[in-house]
Structure 1
Amino acid sequence: MEVKDWTSVCFDEGRSTLRHWREDHVRRPEESVELWEHVLSRRPSALGDELWVVYEQVCIAALDCARLDVAAECMNALQKKFPNSHRVLKLQAMRLEAMGRYDDAVGVYDTLTARDEANPSYRKRKVAVLKAQGKRTEAIRELNDYLKKFLNDNEAWLELSNLYLGECEYAKAAHCLEELILAQPHNSLYLQRYADVKYTLGGTDNVEQAKQYFLQAAKINPNNMRALYGLFFSCQWLVQKTTGQKRKEYVALASWATDQLIDRFQMAADESSAHLDDQVKTVEQMFAALKLFSSA
């Protein structure tokens, strides 16, 4: 795809492009800075009142691509116009983050939170800073406090589950994912991740639960390969722990998962795709081994 030269566009195109990215929440930091430096900064007064949101947009873009000089230019202009603005103070904290002054940034976010406890963004930025510092335990504590006030923030529950997984706190990670499933019971990704955690915890009850959630995830999203593999391996584990009719049910379910996996590989394959052929053979061999064990 041809790369556009953003330094040579006209003023109106540059303005409308930045507005489009801003409204659609598109992050294109390098291009945004280019448009500002080479196009819009030459006639800033022509932007009218839109100048201030452009300054904010370009400041964030500049921080994203480590252009601290451009970020400082935008921030100074905003500071003069809005000397007591919380949004400008948040930008200053983000600049401290970009400079590696994490403790100073946390101090600013704490100040902002004290001034406006109803704004969740300051607390979430603080969690991001703690993660960047490797302070995982403190980030977990901060997110737990945050969720006491903002219980319905699914993004925060997902982040907390990831932090717990990083600490091998699987039961606590499972609790976070249960909250997500309650909020969005038909989200295949949440179901599959919960099943992953339950399988990792081990034990018959947990693996049985994992099997059920892998199956549910696979039915909601038939292209979720991880869920299909998870379903197969859960059944494989359970086959070794059971006998009789229950074992037959697990083998039948593993057979279904095998068929679904093979169908997905065949749909993705083309005539020269030897790699996918190997995947199909591997899945078939896995099921053949399971069937052989179950009949022993």
Structure 2
Amino acid sequence: MGPRNGFDWTNVSFEEGMTTLKEWRETGVRRSEEVVEIWEHVLSRSPVSLSDQLWLVYEQVCIAALDASRFDLASECISRLDERFPKSSRVSKLIAMRYEAMENYNAAAEIYEKLIEGDPTNNSYRKRKIAVMLALGHYQDAIRDLNEYLKTFLNDNEAWIQLSELYLHENDIPKAMHCIEELIVSSPLNTLFLNRLADMRYSIGGVENLELAASYYGRATALNPSDLHAQYGLFLCSLNLSNHSKALAEKKKEATAAAGSALERITTRYQEILSSQPNNPSAKLNLAALQSAKVKLAK
């Protein structure tokens, strides 16, 4: 049974409600308002009928209730779970999540710290604690915890991206670039990572960084020729290199040719867009600007 947008879940049978929540749990679907609706109007009438699914449903409903700011319902679920599983780490995590949702971040952080001490290999505890540090604005603490986390969970791309963004927030571009380089090692065909690293190199400037940026943009365009971000980046890098006073004459000539080629590819792409969307105002403006840039580059 697939999702049904706008469906009135108050009229489903107990069996259908139970089956729906089970399907959403197993597929990772998080439709919080509907989960709360199914619980309150259908399943809560006879919780014991859920049998061995009861405790999983309480946990699912608790998380959904927190998403929906239904702290009364979340507290009720936590109370039932705590009675059945006293001193459970999963229940403690739910209590910490309730503190988070209520913006009592210090209390949440204390619980996550204890959970990490009890199970250092559990990545969910560490990631939730980092989220709390960010909510508190403790960026240096979050950077420290992320670095510690990545010593164990080296292949967590999401964590590397977050760490990179934190370093950018702290204006530490070299460390931010290192994070993206780690991502490129593990995912060399991901053009998003190539573009991010190229953007950082371009923002620093200088001949060496512009050449490196151009190489990353070039790799991204080779992998995805329709990637306009990479095409624009390659054009701008090449244009800057062609005008850079410290660039060798031969490299300036190569850069000018590369800028012209990139400009042609971008122009072709916008012409294709206009052929299928003749009234696209953005494409018209961009194409006009590109034509102007071609004239300037030819001088």
Q: Look up the equivalent residue of 2:6 and give its one-letter code.
A: V
Which residue of structure 2 aligns with residue 65 of structure 1? 68
Which residue of structure 1 aligns with residue 278 of structure 2? 271
Q: Which of 5, 17, 35 pairs up with 1:14?
A: 17
CA distance in 2, matches of 1:217, 1:55: 46
Which residue of structure 1 aligns with residue 180 of structure 2? 177
Query: Does 2:290 match 1:280?
Result: no
Q: Which of 248, 255, 274 pairs up with 1:250?
A: 255
Q: Which of 220, 223, 231 pairs up with 1:228?
A: 231
Q: Look up the equivalent residue of 2:179 and give its one-letter code.
A: C
When residues 57 and 239 of structure 1 are mapped into structure 2, their CA distance, relative to the original with a 3 A threshold, is same
Q: What CA deviation, in whole Å up to 9, does each residue of 1:214-259 have, x standing for no partner?
A: 1111222233322221111111111112354322322232233223
- Cα contact 1:254–1:287 (8 A) shared by 2: no
- Cα contact 2:260–2:297 (8 A) shared by 1: no
- Cα contact 1:258–1:284 (8 A) shared by 2: no
When residues 133 and 19 of structure 1 are mapped into structure 2, their CA distance, relative to the original with a 3 A threshold, is same
Q: Which of 101, 106, 115 pairs up with 2:109?
A: 106
User: Paired residues, what number?
Assistant: 292
In structure 1, the gaps of 5 or more residues are: none
Residue 184 of structure 1: how far off its partner (Å): 0.9
Which residue of structure 2 aligns with residue 206 of structure 1? 209
CA distance in 2, matches of 1:76, 1:136: 33
CA distance in 1, matches of 2:133, 2:242: 44
CA distance in 2, matches of 1:236, 1:60: 52
CA distance in 1, matches of 2:108, 2:132: 8
When residues 287 and 165 of structure 1 are mapped into structure 2, their CA distance, relative to the original with a 3 A threshold, is farther
Q: In percent, how many aligned pairs have the same letter? A: 48
CA distance in 1, matches of 2:291, 2:117: 60
Q: What CA deviation, in whole Å up to 9, does each residue of 1:195-221 have, x standing for no partner?
A: 111111211111111111011112222
Which residue of structure 2 aligns with residue 36 of structure 1? 39
When residues 76 and 163 of structure 1 are mapped into structure 2, their CA distance, relative to the original with a 3 A threshold, is same
- Cα contact 2:130–2:146 (8 A) shared by 1: yes
Residue 2 of structure 1: how far off its partner (Å): 6.0
Residue 93 of structure 1: how far off its partner (Å): 0.5
Q: Look up the equivalent residue of 2:30 and give its one-letter code.
A: R
Q: Look up the equivalent residue of 2:260 and give its one-letter code.
A: S
1:107-256 equivalence runs, <5 A: 107-241=110-244, 242=247, 244-256=249-261
CA distance in 1, matches of 2:271, 2:30: 36
- Cα contact 1:251–1:291 (8 A) shared by 2: no
When residues 255 and 179 of structure 1 are mapped into structure 2, their CA distance, relative to the original with a 3 A threshold, is same
Which residue of structure 2 aligns with residue 77 of structure 1? 80
CA distance in 2, matches of 1:7, 1:254: 61
CA distance in 2, matches of 1:183, 1:145: 19
Give the TM-score normalised by structure 1.
0.92
When residues 238 and 91 of structure 1 are mapped into structure 2, their CA distance, relative to the original with a 3 A threshold, is same
